[in-house]
């Protein structure tokens, strides 16, 4: 395999070096290249704008996830306490006297109310 070096296209940059191309050919090549660069610039501007929009959306998502995390921690704290609440209800129900004359075949009665909260405010 022979190593081939690529010649730089200096004829487009320095018209005095590449005298074989006509000036109209060079100007059309330059115009084509300028148009390509303009299209590339427009694409880069669109990319910049879209990247900015994406960054804004990601920041909004970050805020929503932070809110969701805080809510999840609150729910976890409440759920962690349910075991203790149910255990306290079970312990209190065990201490209550069982009603006499109730058959096991019939639905068992509901447990006694453990906490009584007045439904109307009493005037002092």
Q: Is the pLDDT of residue 19 over 60?
A: no
Maximum average pLDDT range among 6-10, 48-52, 75-79:
48-52
SS3 105: coil
What is the model's pLDDT at position 60? 96
16: DSSP letter? T
Looking at per-residue pLDDT, the higher value among 33 and 103 belongs to 33
Average pLDDT over residues 74-97: 82
Distance of CA 10 to CAs 19, 32, 42, 62, 68, Å? Answer: 11, 17, 27, 51, 60
Distance CA 97, CA 119 (A): 26
Average pLDDT over residues 19-23: 61
- Rg over alpha carbons for the chain, rounded to the nearest Å, is 41
Q: Is 16 within 8 Å of 23 (Cβ atoms)? A: no
Q: Is 96 within 8 Å of 111 (Cβ atoms)? A: yes
Please report, rounded to a whole number, the percentage of residues in the chain having pLDDT higher than 90.
Answer: 35
What is the model's pLDDT at position 113? 66
């Amino acid at each position: 395999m022979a190593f081939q070096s690529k010649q730089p296209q200096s004829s487009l940059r320095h018209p005095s070096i590449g005298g074989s191309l006509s000036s109209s050919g060079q100007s059309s090549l330059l115009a084509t290249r300028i148009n390509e660069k303009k299209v590339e610039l427009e694409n880069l501007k669109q990319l910049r704008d879209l990247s900015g929009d994406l960054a804004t959306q990601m920041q909004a998502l970050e805020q929503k996830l932070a809110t969701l995390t805080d809510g999840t921690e609150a729910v976890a704290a409440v759920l962690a306490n349910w075991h203790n609440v149910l255990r306290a209800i079970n312990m209190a129900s065990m201490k209550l006297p069982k009603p006499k004359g109730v058959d096991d075949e019939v639905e068992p009665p509901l447990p006694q109310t453990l906490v009584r909260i007045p439904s109307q405010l009493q005037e002092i």
